[in-house]
Chains A and B, each alone.
Chain A
Amino acid sequence: MSEALAVDPHAHGAVVDEYEPSLTPGNSGKLGMWAFLAADAMTFGAAIAAYGALRYNNINWPNPAHYLGITTTAVMTFILICSSVTMVEALTGIQNGNQSKFRIFMFGTILGGVAFLTMQAFEWHHLLVERGMSIHRDLFDATFFILTGFHGCHVFGGVVYNTVLWVRGLMGKIPQGKAGLVEIAGLYWHFVDLVWILIFTFVYLI
């Protein structure tokens, strides 16, 4: 990392660092995204921690397997992992100047996100209408819908974000030099995947 050095006129010729090296040289937006993700992780973390604290030693807590479909959710998890792979391959494409690869894999990422949301919508419909679950009913239902709903909103936001980037890519407005924009979007998308990995385990499997 390069550092700009200056002479402090008040320090009798001592050399002073003018700039502090960046944690993300060349891409300030990446640091901003990391800071946002840290804040978002605290939000999700607090929600999951509260869920765990409410559930611990609670004999009234129903067995999730009696209500929630593990097979469907496992497929959803796999789809989201696949979409993370397509996202990182899209980034590799744009970093190497391969516009075609970027467009194809970014579209695949968007498809993965849409598939996840569709399956989650079907799951919610099944639980709300056929199983009679409701956010008002009890803590199990409330924590389930709040955690998965909050995460689903993040997935929706990520799909919109990726779609905007994809469309801009189609218009030729994301050259190789702007690969940092895709990297920043990738950080958000991988974070969404990471949170789902944790929600799948704590809410569905445990």
Chain B
Amino acid sequence: MAAQAAMESNSAHAEHSGPSYIAVFIYLSVLTGVELLVYAMNFPSDLKIGLLVALALAKAVLVAMYFMHLATEHKGLWVIAATPLVLVAFCYLMLRPDLSKRAWAHVSHTTPRAAQPASAAPQS
């Protein structure tokens, strides 16, 4: 908390002082450790995936905001930084139904991978 307060108290236009990069490093290290803990625990799949994605996004935001100085830059740069996220989300949502449903719908859940018939191969 004290480290975060130190970060926020620095002026956005101060060229020779800035956030405590060591504090950001500690946050990133802690979040990485928590990620590994979540990975090692036997959480339900959906909870595990949700936690890991949230932790990864938190780390990404920390790097973008403080190491890449997005927090102190002109807000117009945020538009440039955020545009790929929108397109990636769109790309994933558009691809997923087609790839997952068409490709794997006929594969039996009880059939081992090696014994699957040729007809279960992904449709092009």
For A87, what are the chain B residues with a Cβ–Cβ distance below 8 Å?
Answer: 67
**Are A78 and B60 in contact, with the CB atoms below 8 A?**
no
Give which listed residue, B60, B77, B96, B103, contacts A197 with CB less than 8 A: B60
How far, in Å, is B39 (CB) from chain A's closest CB?
5
Residues of A contacting B: mostly: helix
Given A35-B80, A92-B18, residue A49 in contact with residue B95 (CB < 8 A): yes
Number of chain B residues whose Cβ lies closer than 8 Å to a Cβ of chain A = 52
The stretch of A124-132, A148-156, A163-171, A188-196 in contact with B is A188-196
Q: Is the CB of B80 within 8 A of A53?
A: no
Assess whether B91 is interfacial by the CB under 8 Å rule.
Answer: yes
**A residues contacting the other copy or chain, number (CB 8 A):** 50
A89 interfacial by beta-carbon distance below 8 Å: yes
B52–A42 CB distance below 8 A: no
Judge if A11 is at the interface, Cβ distance under 8 Å.
no
Assembled-state Cα–Cα distance A58/B17 (Å): 50
Q: Once the chains bind, are A45 and B85 in contact (CB under 8 Å)?
A: yes
Check if A38 sits within 8 Å of B83, measured CB to CB.
Answer: yes
Task: Identify which of residues 10-54 in chain A touch chain B, using a CB-to-CB cut-off of 8 Å.
Answer: 23-24, 31, 34-35, 37-38, 41-42, 45-46, 48-50, 52-54
> B3 contacts the other chain (Cβ, under 8 Å)?
no
Q: Verify if B28 is at the interface (C-beta below 8 Å from A).
A: yes
Please judge, given known A-B contacts A81-B25, A81-B28, whether A88 and B104 are in contact too, CB under 8 Å. no
Q: Is the CB of B88 within 8 A of A46?
A: yes
A residues near B (Cβ < 8 Å) are 23-24, 31, 34-35, 37-38, 41-42, 45-46, 48-50, 52-54, 56-60, 70, 74, 77-78, 81-82, 84-85, 87-89, 92, 95-96, 183, 186-187, 190-191, 193-194, 197-198, 200-202, 205-206
Given contacts A49-B91, A88-B21, 5 further A-B contacts (CB under 8 A): A49-B88, A57-B100, A70-B39, A77-B32, A87-B67
